[in-house]
Every structure is written in C-alpha cells, then in structure tokens.
Amino acid sequence: MAIFKGAGVAIVTPMNADGSVNYEQFAKLIEFQIANGTDAIIVCGTTGESSTLTHEEHLDVIRYCVEAVAGRVPVVAGTGSNCTETAIYLSTEAEKMGVDGLLLVSPYYNKATQNGLYAHFKAVADSVKIPVILYNVPSRTGCNITPETIVRLCTDVENIVGVKEASGNISQIASLAALADGKVDIYSGNDDQIVPILSLGGIGVISVLSNVAPAQTHAICENYLKGNVAESLRLQLEAMELCHALFCEVNPIPVKKALNLMGMNAGALRMPLSEMEEKNAARLEKAMKDYGIL
C-alpha cells in the first residue's frame, strides 16, 4: 500500500529574520497546502534546508508538522544522512513522533558502492516499522542508486516501498519501471518530469512547484491517475517555464523567493545558500505572473 498517490509537497522551512525557524508561518504554509489539495507533506527534505538544521531543530520541525497536520494528509519526514547511525537516530525519533513514512536520501559525499548503499538503507529501514521511500538525487549527492539496487531493496526489505527519482535520467527510470514488476512506488523528483514518470507507471511527485502552486500540481497528478492524460499533459506543459525558473538557481533559493513574492513570508535562507541573483529573480517573477500566481 503506497504511502500516498498524487502530489506531495517538499515543503520549505520558513525562517525568522534571526535565522530561527518561523513556526507561526510554517503553520500557515501547511494550511495553504492542505486547503489546496496537496496529497502529502514531505518535511525536512532538501527544500526544507535539512542540511543546515541542527538535529534538535530537525526533529522539532518534524514534530511540529505532524501536530499541525493532525492526520489530515500523510506526513513523510526526511531523515537521511551520510552517516548511517545518524540516519537511524533521526528515523527512529521521527517514527516516535507519528510520521507516516520516511524519505531517505542516498549518503552524500561518501560515494558508497551499490553494496554499501544496500547495507545503509537496509540498516535504517530495519530500525523502524514505518514505510520508507528512497531518494535518488545524484546531482546533489554524487552517488546514483541503480535500478537494480532499488528493486533489490524493495524486494528484500518489507518496509522499503518506493523511490523519489530525481536523477533526471528518463532512460534509467524506464529501466527501473521495467525491472520493478510492481514492487516499487515511483515518485517523480523533478517537477518538469511528472507526466513522463507517471506514464512509466509512477504514482505521483514529491514537488517543489507545489509550494507555490499546490492545486495545479495536484491537478496534474489527479488528471493523469484518473485517465485524463491530455489534460494532465496540458497542465504539465503550462507549468514548464515556472518549473525551470524554480530551478534556475539551486533549490530552495528560488522557491523561497517565490513564496516571499507571494507574501507568504518564507524568510531568508541559511548560509551557505544566498539570496537570488537579480536577473534570475526577474525571470522567476515573470514566470509566476505568466502562470497566474502573482
């Protein structure tokens, strides 16, 4: 049974001017998502600046999200690390808080072998009882999880149920779908590839776009999953320039800027991330206006 189908938002972590987490605004962002049809909330992922949250903050943000959502949609917590023991610690603590699932990024910087990745993910998944989604994003981690390793993990480890595929390599994702034999829940990790991945048997997206356009991102998935493929494709293509603008600088720099332009007070970024360059900010603002969300 999938943790969710459709559009899950990789939600930002809003910050106060002093760099602390703005929980009051976080609650408003959560309500905005739920009111606009988001199918799941993924907290403390890349978009949530998990890499610069302390362990205490990381767990506090997860706890707050679970309490604010209050069971209305599934909450999936990012608890991955390049240290297996740290990933186990964050995962077991998140499970105690009542999350519905975990998102485990491949260990970054270490550049583990496929056998190392298998051992790492199995050790973390074995430490909890809740479902686990792997997160393959080699552009950020320097390490690709191959289709064979993903299928092996989903076959051998009962609670590893799927993967967020952000490799951008459609041929690799097609190979994964061919090998999976229904054993892997495949989520798009790239907003410009939602329909292509759904067409390969994917069941949804873990989305940056959904931060600023939750109803539209939900509609792309809902239409496809209900068989309205032409409408889903139309909505996907309509969003393409905004998708590209949201990634014209490294995520989450543009999406925080976009939320601030919408008056949603996502706040500043934590270093080493920096404010958006002027020319890119102008491109983003134009794309948002053209898309009708500004």
**Which residues, 6+ apart, have CB-to-CB distance to 33 below 8 Å?**
9, 11, 41, 210, 214
Single out the catalytic residue among 89, 111, 118, 164: 164
Alpha-carbon torsion (134, 140, 145, 147), positive or negative: positive
Query: Measured in whole angstroms, how far is the alpha carbon of residue 49 from the centre of its chain?
Result: 11
Which sign does the torsion angle of CA 52, 56, 57, 58 carry? Answer: positive
Residue type, 238: E
The residue written with tokens 């009962």 in the block is 158
d(CA 166, CA 124): 21
Q: Which one is catalytic: 135, 187, 224, 291?
A: 135
Note if 164 is an active site residue: yes
Q: Are 207 and 251 in contact (CB under 8 A)?
A: no
CB distance 232 to 198 below 8 Å: yes
Q: Is 135 a known active-site residue?
A: yes
Partners of 204 in beta bridges: 6, 187
Q: Which residues are catalytic?
A: 135, 164
